[in-house]
Structure 1
């Protein structure tokens, strides 16, 4: 678009915004109709891969017929641990019972055939006198809590379009037992949520009547609940958890206007940078969409074809369907593409949605607010729930279901009863023993050993002898104070620090920093420390690209304000020194690992807003799990395969292990992080498992190590609470549950590894999807807990095994700043911390 065109577009936005503010009226919200979720079947690729997996090789044969995940991953008879002390945990699950034992399934056919599923549902609703109001119908199958008198029941309806008579045949199929009725019960739960006047946004329900307002941040926070009924080892259980939805009070239209007002010359480019990748809410139907592009050539006056083949403008569509009058007819339209499922297929609906900016509300937190410590703190104070608050929300939901007659009747008509929240007996694993240079100690309940690290010193320090300290001339005094602090705090930890080459730059331009580093880095340079006055993504990325790709050398970027407080300077410098030591190849502490010749691998994935994907493989290189080898693979386009890159990185790690140890690892445990849902777990088991098997064969034809593949999930809603003097508190690190609330046909467990003092702790969920190692559940659980102690960026436990967290760090760096793989010269160092 020309400069004149941009000015005209900006003027139109300004004119339209004023008109919009003058004529603003409340928009009516409509509840999105619930769709019947159908069981996804294994696709052809999965079936083909399944045939390649051999029997008796640590897993059971994968059935090639269409089956749910729970039949794919079979739990053996005994997969329970027993180490540690027994402990009682309260959970956010409630047991669900059905006095009827299940539901009656009927097949429904229409003669002549009715194409539209919505019309079929409307026609059957006309005959609720015959089938009852308590029914679930998805357009094909009907589920009832009662059995109809006849095996085949025929009724008739009339087509409203042409007056044709349609015969509806309702044929009994079978009685479906409780554990096969999960999707029916979840649909009933959606009806219950509507009775509670909750609005569905995305997958969850929120209460719009009691928003938490944050006007200074232009935010409206809706409280909500996450609910889901599934079959677990303890039977049918309902999970319930509190959640929040962040809604901006300004529309996308207003955001675009602000961008134009600030940068009219680069309006289109900046608008794309701000909006693409963000999720918006259309309040007229409470649906969320991801912005994939902005179509500057389409406006609300543009037209499209309806399902009936008629052409209508967007102005006419919103006026006729929602009674909404669009105020600015010249605004561009937002583009949202229907996301492909993991098996490559598209869900129902159009491939592309066009959205009107003035009707879209931004959701989530903008980057500017995420980088604002005070802003994030303010929001956290409103949304962070203590264990007691979270349990109260849980109990309030159960009370509402019981007290509101319409909600109670929905469940009672199906014979369903919700009981009180579930208490489960779990265990508290023993404290792990760590070693630093001069100390060995057991980790306390606080799961933090910063004091022991300060007293005992680094396990393997690396002296800092040849390094660069780069700073703006205005920050020279800060740089000198930082150097003094380094020379004071490092020797007690075993690390000697010599005088660096001091490089002052005349201005704060990115080129000045890059030029200074490029001109002075040589083959003897161990590390570059850069002090920058402000946080700027472009400058940070330029420095990291130089130090990770062009001139590979470990680097540490510091903000001036980080080292500006004299009273905090020593403690801050100590943390920086620990990071620098790791980046130089040093080791901070170790945990007791009894297994010999073991390699632990972490795999993680990072996705950016443009669709680029970065996969990371981080593997241990020694017995103590203190040295790591890190590689990444970058997928530039969504269609490009990532698994080949995983295999290449994994093979490189095996070769490096042999180079350092003289032998290949005899036992390998892979922790696969970055897995979203059960469908992806199944794909990983079928595809990535073959990837690892193939890698072993490429290393050596007879190489058959003992191997375990474990999926780690952190974005879950399961909660574990301890009871202390009658009060509900967070479970302590080492708390574990491996039954009752775990899946009945999986080898899985929940583990709390962190100490949380604010808010509610969330356990991590481990699924062992392949194991021929012979490790007992106790060993697998203890190893997983041990590895949460080995993340060197924090002297405490973390939520996931250390290689998974390392994988996240390097994948994030490559995806956000480098956009290509780092130099292999840095692969044996934790340069990305």
Structure 2
């Protein structure tokens, strides 16, 4: 084993170089002194400082460190010199450029504002703890405010555990004894511990910036609900539906390729003018026998808002045996009832002492540890207001139309709201003071730059027919042309009730006529009339009529019912594996549109049986494209994995499995099966594998790099393949909005618009792509992050491939927001996780049964 110490890297190397240059200037270069092999190396410099701080945290304040500790942490130079040397060394992550050249240039802007900061200013970070523990956020804020006010400091404190000051108040730890007027007999120890010093332009300061703008939102009288901020004083009332809409913003600061930028996106929050207690009372009066069942269906999984702390919670359960009269243990070991707690902490009086409590389950970090624990939060229904829209409301055209008047915002309206926000900050002395105290200044408006529009794709149909879509829509072309991979429908069944007998007859007649247009032979189906609409009738009919030779089955149901749909899909996907199609009678009753509706159903059935509807031109061979997405619901998550099987990327293999965590841990098995199936279909393994991973947030990127990608790499190594792997994360839930700037003003960019600079991450290979056309409101771009690329493909190749893949989703004659494999994985995981709750039969894996 070598006695040499490893060569310092990163920040350690930079620090060592800075100290070496200092020594050369002062005394000249001296030859290194070799160490005795038996002598273990002692920590020096930054390592010694960390050891000292760790030891101090374990001591009682004021205690002198042991002699051996003093010897270990004794640096070769004074700490002041080491700290100064570190501050002179500029350490930053490498900037990554991922710009393409292909496409027509467009003038664009986005909802980003430049944030300029004074590089001479500093930030000192402290940890704040309270003894005894203080739960109410407003009390924590008031205690810290008293301390800072006495010291004459400016500060940033969000009520949590982090305090930021522009000056250093202690080198280690200080304890302040404070009281509150409402509890004069209780003395609180506020413990402030120094953590580290940061510069204003360090990436670690992003939390500070976001807390600063949180304060500015409160100064401008915005109320925080969840992560965003809303103007509760300027709400829109929709009394006919008992709804109210709060306008607001999503505000976040991040370091992008164009510098430190503030992202400001217009948001809306829909609240119902009804609390959970009123809903429970209403449900009890409607049907006392099914009260608990109806309450569980209405509340579990819904989002509620508590006005006393302006927080949102998800209802995970209802504790029917627990009431506000019950007690729970506090941190100091005592017991307190829920009624007493809300009276003491929030000065709220609960009227009904016997109402059940709502349960919110969440996972939190253990203080002073990297471990996490599950906790349950009990909420009182009469203090919880319902948010969002119910399924009944979403299916009501009038409700959605009235709500859309306030929530559907055009690009021009978004820019106007953004300018109004900037104007309010400029006119607010307090807001300007908050920024100036920390050396910050906001830009005067959004950042104008340029983007690119990729070429429109041609759609190829059967009979060598080519469609030229307008605005990424080829709905008319698909209705007039044959499909590329027809499948004859010879042995199929139609299930219906007596009331829908005539609709079923007309449906099968129209299906047979449309077969010639599609290029498929569609024979007359076997009609099966059900005696009633009970779920048992559907189960019995499936068992008695579906045979091994049955190609596809159609269910014409009187109405939408989740339990019936789940039974049908469970029977046809797990017990009697057969592609199935569920159609509501109301859809077939629209005589003006019935032909186009039935044609879309017929196309969907062909795709479910393994046929292909259209394709596009792909300038490569031997590539496999896969999609991954996770559905969250119930006790476990459902992960869908979909991979292509042919050269044209129109046939796919689907695998679904259950997992306990957000990050999948079964990819080895799924990827192994997909590679083996690909070789069976094509005679060889793929040369490249491109994986689009949906549903990953920024906080999970590192975990995906270390864990998920490693599973795919290990499979390739096991096969001994030289296949190149490209792993791309797809993010839909982003606040970035992109506008095309024309003479008439801001408009939605056309489909195919790519932005790969200025608003992208400085240290990542990423880009924004707008693949779909939106006629109303503002289009939402999709964020692509290339996490790994063994083939070192150019930005143009990855961007054009991603756009092409948005054209191959067979449930929509137009482009989708994400690549087709991602959308397929999303649909498969959702169907299994929400309705089937079992792994589908393997015989359906090469069919798009989930469309």
- Higher relative contact order by CA 8 Å / sep ≥ 6: 1 or 2? 1
Q: How many residues align?
A: 752
8 Å CA contact 1:449, 1:795 repeated in 2 = yes
SS of the equivalent of 2:328 reads: strand
Change (3 A) 1:170 1:295: closer
2:23 — aligned with what?
none
Alignment of 1:228 onto 2:248: no
Indicate conservation of the 8 Å contact 1:601/1:670, yes or no: yes
Deviation of 1:231 after TM superposition, in Å, equals: 0.5
Match of 2:741 in 1: 723
Does residue 613 of the first structure (1) align with residue 637 of the second (2)?
A: yes
Question: Is residue 648 from structure 1 mapped to residue 672 from structure 2 by the alignment?
Answer: no
Q: What's the TM-score once normalised by structure 2's chain length? A: 0.83
- What is the alpha-carbon distance in structure 1 between the residues aligned to residue 303 and residue 170 of structure 2? 48
Counterpart pick for 2:153 among 111, 126, 132: 132
Aligned position for 2:108:
89
Q: What residue number does 1:286 align with?
A: 310
Q: Distance in 1 between matches of 2:507 and 2:665?
A: 45
Deviation at residue 668 of structure 1 after TM alignment: 0.1
Partner of 1:757: 775
Equivalent position to 1:690, from 679, 690, 710: 710
Query: Alpha-carbon deviation of 1:563?
Result: 0.9
TM superposition shift of 1:73: 13
Matched, 1:660 2:678: no
Partner Cα separation in structure 1 for residue 414 and residue 251 of structure 2? 14
Pair member with larger Rg: 2
- Does the CA-based 8 Å contact 1:73-1:745 persist in structure 2? no
Q: TM-score, normalised by structure 1?
A: 0.85
Q: Which shows bigger deviation, 517-526 or 129-138?
A: 129-138
Q: SS in structure 2 opposite 1:126?
A: helix
2:539 equivalent in structure 1: 514
Given candidates 572, 579, 585, the residue that maps to 1:560 is: 585
Q: Structure 1 residues 139, 801: closer, same or farther in 2, change over 3 A?
A: closer
The 1:656–1:246 alpha-carbon spacing in structure 2 relative to 1, beyond 3 Å, is same
Instruction: Provide the C-alpha distance between the structure 2 equivalents of 1:349 and 1:578, rounded to a whole number of angstroms.
Output: 49
Change (3 A) 1:520 1:139: closer
1:433–1:440 contact (8 Å) kept in structure 2: no
Does the C-alpha gap of structure 1 residues 782 and 170 become closer, same or farther in structure 2, counting only changes over 3 Å?
closer
Matched, 1:746 2:764: yes
Is the contact between residue 75 and residue 746 of structure 1 (CA under 8 Å) also seen in structure 2? no
Assess, with a 3 A threshold, how the Cα gap between structure 1 residues 591 and 101 changes in structure 2: closer, same or farther.
Answer: farther
Mapped partners of 1:355, 1:766: distance in 2? 39
Correspondence for 1:576 among 576, 596, 601: 601
Q: How does 1:279-358 map to 2 (within 5 A)?
A: 279-340=303-364, 351-358=375-382
Find the counterpart in structure 2 of residue 68 from structure 1: none
Taking a change above 3 Å as real, the CA distance of residues 447 and 76 of structure 1, as seen in their structure-2 partners, is same
Matched-pair contact (CA < 8 Å) for 2:766–2:785: yes
1:780 paired residue number? 798
Map Cα deviations across residues 569-606 of structure 1 (whole Å, 9 max, x no partner). Answer: 11111111110110111111111111211000000100
Counterpart for residue 535 of structure 1: 560
- Greater mean deviation of Cα atoms: 82-91 or 172-181: 172-181
- Call closer, same or farther: CA 1:73–1:605 in 2, change over 3 Å: farther
- Structure 1 residue 442, shift from structure 2 partner: 6.3
When residues 598 and 513 of structure 1 are mapped into structure 2, their CA distance, relative to the original with a 3 A threshold, is same
Question: How far off its partner does 1:646 sit?
Answer: 3.0
- The 5-angstrom pairing of residues 258-277 of structure 1 reads 258-277=282-301
SS of 1:265 mapped into structure 2: coil
Pick one of 482, 488, 499 that aligns with 1:457.
Answer: 482
- Alignment match of 1:191 (pick from 212, 215, 235): 215
Shift of 1:765: 0.2
In the TM superposition, what whole-angstrom CA distance separates every residue of 1:481-534 from its partner, at most 9, and x where no partner exists? 112211222212211211111111222222223322321111211111111111
Give SS of 2:229's match.
strand
Q: Which of 359, 369, 389 is the aligned partner of 1:365?
A: 389
Distance 1:410 1:445, change over 3 A: farther
What CA distance in whole angstroms lies between the structure 2 residues aligned with 1:321 and 1:659? 66
Aligned to 1:587: 612
- SS for the counterpart of 2:602 is helix
Q: Which residue of 2 aligns with 1:814?
A: 832
SS of residue matched to 1:733: coil
Q: Which moves more between the two structures, 177-186 or 400-409?
A: 177-186
Q: Deviations over 1:277-330 (max 9, x none)?
A: 222111111111121222222211112233343332222222233222211111
1:105 to 124, 128, 142: 124
Alpha-carbon separation, structure 2, partners of 1:155 and 1:339: 31
* Cα distance, 1:503–1:245 mapped onto 2, change above 3 Å: same
CA distance in 2 between partners of 1:73 and 1:170 (Å): 24
Q: 1:138 to 1:571 in 2, by over 3 A?
A: closer
Query: Quick one: distance in 1 between partners of 2:589 and 2:192?
Result: 77
CA distance in 2, matches of 1:223, 1:275: 25
Gaps of 5+ in 1: 1-70
Q: Which residue of 1 aligns with 2:698?
A: 678
Bigger mean CA deviation after superposition, 664-673 or 537-546: 537-546
Q: Give the superposed CA RMSD.
A: 3.1
Tell me by how many angstroms 1:781 deviates: 0.7
Q: How does 1:467-506 map to 2 (within 5 A)?
A: 467-506=492-531
In the alignment, structure 2 segments of 5+ residues that lack a partner are: 1-89, 180-184
What pairs up with 1:311-460 in 2 under 5 angstroms?
311-340=335-364, 351-419=375-443, 420-439=445-464, 441=466, 443-460=468-485
1:74/1:747 contact within 8 Å kept: no
More displaced stretch, 585-594 vs 161-170: 161-170
Whether the 8 Å CA contact 2:320–2:356 is kept in 1: the answer is yes
Comparing 796-805 with 470-479, greater Cα deviation is found at: 470-479
Match of 1:832 in 2: 850
Equivalent pair of 1:251/1:357 in contact (CA under 8 Å):
yes
Q: What is the Cα deviation at residue 772 of structure 1?
A: 0.3
